[in-house]
Structure 1
Amino acid sequence: MSAVTLGSSELKVSKIILGCALYGSPDCLGRVQDEEESIKQIKTAFDAGINTFDTSNMYSNEQSEVILGKAIRQENLPRDRIAVMTKVFHPVSLDVDGCVDGEAAEHAGSHGYANQYSLAREDIFYSIKKSLERLQLDYIDVLHCHEYDASTPTHETMQALHDAVKAGWVRYVGMSNCRAWQFYVMQSHAVNNALTPFISMQNDYNLLYHQDEHEMLPTLKFLDVSFLPLSSLVNGAMSMPLDQQLALPADNMVPGGRQEWHNTIITRLEEIALQKNITMTEVAVAWSMRHERQYPETPYSSLSNPVGVGALILSGPTTRQLLDAIRGVDVLLTPADVEYLEEPYVPQKLRH
């Protein structure tokens, strides 16, 4: 699989990144893969050309990081040939069989989570230390802030991230789950104060939700930062024919509840897949990657790297979906295909 350079860095990642959110314990997340299946999938992904793995301290209450670290060791994945991404902000539950629910403010000063639930300096250093222990690694390739923290001064967060890079615990930093103005505030502080800037940004982005095209993607283009879309397959809804989805006992694939225009897009996705004799997954991936090739120039950009959609993070795919996604990277949709898929879309409120 071909690689892409993230933002203004020299870090190259595979165009499909294996998301490890659903590795761990069903006590924390309802639908997860057990350890044996998870390790097998990580090895399959690596053998297929995927060199980048995305996790978080909070996924399955730390078990995702533990499993990824075990897979790297057990399968002898060469450290110099893989990139590991994890996140900081949320705490790990003190109850090993549970998860922490609610907003940060509800836990920051009580319930035993002081200095474990924010982007404050102490929280960041503590989280990195524990993540490195669980992953059994000496450094993290990219540390993403899991979401925006309005309670911590931006200068404290960005200085702490910079110091973590200088200490060698982290190579690069990124952001996720925020709005364009929030990203701009944090990135501008780093750039203006000679601190380590973000090289990547993770947000939801798929055929059923692509509001970030209006503000976030142009902002990232201007700042020379790569976009790493989450949820490209929408819990599998972009990979399964509509009649099969509607026949499921519990229809919970589409976040926020299924609407008629969702079904129209899924039906059109299936039509294009049949016309091209490829899978729905391949079409969904090709649509998500289209900005890699078709991103509009701005009068202010003079970039060394083509910044737009850099790579897709696929969390919880079946092995078949994973292999289909790899093929989808090379699928080119026509402008007519894109217009047909996007025409039913209904604008939505921003999720973050």
Structure 2
Amino acid sequence: MQYVRLGSSGLKVSRLALGCMSYGEPGLGTHPWSLGEDESLPYVAQALDLGINFFDTANIYSLGTSEEFLGRALRKLTRREDVVVATKVYEKMDDNPLSGGLSRSAIHRELDASLRRLGTDYVDLYIVHRWDYDTPVEETMEALHDVVRAGKVRYIGASSMHAWQLAKAQYVADLHGWTRFVSMQNHYNLLNREEERDMLPFCREEGVGVTPWSPLARGRLARPWDTESRRTAGDPIQDRFYGPTERADREVAAAVAEIAAERGVPMAQVALAWMLGRPGITAPVVGATRPHHLTDAVAALGLELDAAETARLEAPYVPHAVVEYV
């Protein structure tokens, strides 16, 4: 395993993060494919055995049970100080009008709830899951600074927003002497490279670590295009992200498959190797619901694509419409 600093912070993380969206009480929330607690535990153990020290979850994943499962697994398997735990805030947890968002009230309430579910007194990285158009960014950034000062959070991160929004948040933090975001968790993979226009250059310039979600495009870069799985059958969001550009996306996936065959490795290794070779990428967030998912991801760290292979992977790409993450 390789370890790097998260952006310009002093926090060292593995070059892969285990995403825990697939772990939680099945049927709760919007992830019907999630694994129960007994099924989830071996993947956390496998990740630790492979040297992964970075674990990513969110309060909304399976309505808090992902946090519960991860917290119990880590307490059983390792020491708290040996791992980096990230969770998120923004989404509504119930129908109460006070639920959700990034107000001072919501941040303090949801952080305390996440800490209880995780069974810890701090999180290493607290991520705003989306941009809150209804709350002044000054209120959000001050509240995040307060929870850092209180010792409940070590670092703060952002996710899925426009580059101008991240720039504004950083400016507000600098203006008031508040805590800055050290990471950006954004949607980036071979099928959606729009972040190369503004977000990725901004993060490199400002020393913000990048931890992309869906590096395998929700599995489309890990298997033949028309292969069905529990995830594809129960994940309508895929059509929103990739439906309008399916023809070109198929060609990208076909290039991944061709190079994987030539190399004698799984498709996932090729797609992850491409991402790990991009400038400024710190640690892609990978999911795992089968043992080979993690071993393939770790193997990608040692797979170096040449310039010709990279060009073949990138050539079929067409611009994608901007997705509003609301």
Task: Specify the TM-score bucket, using the shorter chain as the normaliser.
Answer: over 0.9
State whether residues 57 and 91 of structure 1, in contact with CA within 8 Å, keep that contact through their aligned partners in structure 2.
no
TM-score normalized with structure 1 length = 0.86
Q: CA deviation at 1:192?
A: 2.3
Q: Which runs of 4+ in 1 moved over 3 A?
A: 242-246, 248-255
Q: 1:206-225 to 2 correspondence within 5 Å?
A: 206-225=189-208
Distance in structure 1 (CA, Å) of the matches to 2:96 and 2:227: 45
Deviations 1:253-301 (A, max 9, x none): 844337122221111101111111222111011111112xxx3xxxxxx
Q: Are 1:281 and 2:268 an aligned pair?
A: yes
| TM-score, structure 2 normalization | 0.93
Q: Report if the CA contact (8 A) 2:155-2:182 is conserved.
A: yes
1:1-352 equivalence runs, <5 A: 1-27=1-27, 28=29, 29-75=31-77, 77-93=78-94, 111-114=95-98, 116-242=99-225, 244=227, 250=233, 254-256=238-240, 257=243, 259-291=246-278, 295=279, 308-352=280-324
**Residue 250 of structure 1: how far off its partner (Å):** 4.9
| Offset at residue 325 of structure 1 (A) | 0.5
Alignment partners' CA distance in 1, 2:290 and 2:213: 16
Contact 1:206 1:234 in 2 (8 A): yes
When you count helix as a share of all residues, which structure comes out higher?
2
Structure-2 residue corresponding to 1:302: none
Aligned residues: 317
Percentage of identical aligned residues: 38
Which secondary structure does the structure 1 equivalent of 2:211 belong to? strand
Residue 236 of structure 1 contacts residue 317 of structure 1 at CA under 8 Å; is this kept in 2? no
Cα 1:172–1:179 change in 2 (3 A) is same
Q: CA RMSD in A?
A: 1.9
Amino acid across the alignment from 1:335: A
C-alpha displacement at 1:58, in angstroms?
A: 0.5
C-alpha distance 347-135 of structure 1, shift in aligned 2 (>3 A): same
CA deviation map 1:228-270 (0-9, x unaligned)? 1110112222111346459x99596844337122221111101
1:212-236 CA distance string (max 9 Å, x none): 0001001111211011111011222
Q: Deviations over 1:16-39 (max 9, x none)?
A: 100001111232212111111111
Deviations 1:307-335 (CA, angstroms, capped at 9, x unpaired): x1100101344221111011102211111
Which consecutive unaligned segments of at least 5 residues does structure 1 have?
A: 94-110, 296-307
Q: CA deviation at 1:92?
A: 1.9
In structure 2, the gaps of 5 or more residues are: none
Cα distance in 1, alignment partners of residues 161 and 167 from structure 2: 10
CA distance in 2, matches of 1:20, 1:122: 26
